[in-house]
Amino acid sequence: MVTNLPAEARAKWIKVMEARGVEEKIRALEEFLSAVPKHKGTANLRLWATRRLAELREELEERRKKKARKGISFFVEKEGAAQVVVAGLPNSGKSLLVKRLTGARTVVADYPFSTTNPVPGMLRYEDLYFQLVDTPPLVPGSAYFNRVIGLMRNSDAILLVLDNTRDPVREYIDLSRILEERGILLQKPRGRVVIERARTGKTGIRVTFMGKLVDATIDDVRKLLEAYHVYNAHVRVYGEVTLDDVEQALFESRVYKPCVVVINKAEINVASAREAAYRIREVNPNIPVVLGSAKLNKGFRDLGWILFKVLEIIRVYTKQPNGEISKTPLVLRRGATVYDVARAIHKDFVNKFLYAKIWGSSSKYPGERVGLYHVVEDGDIVEIRIKG
């Protein structure tokens, strides 16, 4: 095991996982930390927990302030198909970019730290909207740093804005390191474990594979989770994963966030921007790099489509038997099935399900009859037939 925690600390961790609300989580995390023995093996865990505590304390303070003066809060309610946090070093052009793409009224200024609060705006892509959130600059030790990190952790994706008049490759490397230290990974790890704990009902431990466990069996996973008193959970394994990764996932200490890099102010020196993009792609071939100029509002035409791709979402249109096709799509994760569509329409639909009819790229022919476990694709039209 990664951390070799004594039973007492594990028991305290259960309290952290079960805590609802920020205050309870803070208290539980404090108790957990005091129960973790101090040695090399737990150093990372303690560091992570300490930082997480700092984030939560700031969030709590923020919420209190908001209550007291109904003022602006750092917490941004999600809207649209996904929340994309726009982040970067001071003066890189985050605010101007968000303003250009969404029309949001956010402060643009030629001095650093001009943005002190997150400002959301909506970016349209076909029949979807993505919520872009302008943020204060990401500088460790600065007043807003922990809160911006908290926003990013909560987001669905990150738009990293680099400044072409400085050294964008350096900015990219520094920012990804800063984020990684805080447990936010911009690259999809080779293997990934997601543990969804069931709050109600006795479902037992269910493991589904989109990859494999390299050094353990499902039984080992079950034993590990039971050591943490987790008896009801859905464990999803993506790619190649070790038992250590499963334990890490229990601590939610690392999250992967899809990312798009923007090299802004490209108009100032197009050749250097291209060179920087090339080098960033060398460092990380999986992250899309967009060159553009917020000042001229050029280069961002495909951004909506690129976000749609990295978010790995699909749109499904529902249709009533002999009725109209819905105008607004259901937004689902890639790999979703008719089951997910049915559940999204109504909780009874899964129980009463008879069959579905499908039009679109996942169907063999228009109107094909399929069952609950048929995988749907972007643009599919789904009609669900139920009993009664």
Residue 141 touching ligand GTP (CB under 6 A): no
Closest approach of ligand GTP to the CB of residue 352, in Å: 51
DSSP-derived pairing of the beta strands 255-256 and 128-134: unpaired
DSSP 73-91: -S-----SSEEEEEEESTT
Distance between CA atoms of residues 236 and 212, nearest Å: 10
Residue with token string 């249709």: 319
Per the structure block, which two tokens stand in for 303? Answer: 């951004």
Stretch 108-147: interaction string toward Mg ion, x if CB under 5 A: -------x--------------------------------
Closest approach of Mg ion to the CB of residue 255, in Å: 25
Size of the site for Mg ion (CB under 5 A): 3
Distance between CA atoms of residues 150 and 154, nearest Å: 6
- Binds 232, which of ligand GTP, Mg ion, none (CB < 5 to 8 A, cut-off by type)? none
Residue 100 touching ligand GTP (CB under 6 A): no
Per the structure block, which two tokens stand in for 225? Answer: 């989770």
DSSP 351-382: TTEEEEEEESTTSSSTTEEE-TTPBP-TTEEE
Among 9, 26, 49, 91, binds ligand GTP (CB under 6 A): 91
Give the closest residue to 181 by CA, choosing from 44, 338, 286: 44
The piece of 60-68, 200-208, 217-225, 287-295 that touches ligand GTP (CB under 6 A) is 287-295
Distance between CA atoms of residues 115 and 364, nearest Å: 51
Instruction: State the burial class of residue 177 (Cβ atoms within 10 Å of its Cβ: 0-12, 13-18, 19+).
Output: exposed
Residue 112 touching ligand GTP (CB under 6 A): yes
- Binds 118, which of ligand GTP, Mg ion, none (CB < 5 to 8 A, cut-off by type)? none
Give the residue with the Cβ less far from ligand GTP, 260 or 338. Answer: 260
The piece of 21-29, 86-94, 180-188, 305-313 that touches ligand GTP (CB under 6 A) is 86-94
Instruction: List interacting residues with Mg ion (CB under 5 A).
Output: 94-95, 115
Residues in contact with ligand GTP by CB under 6 A are: 88, 90-96, 108-110, 112-115, 137, 264-265, 267-268, 293-295
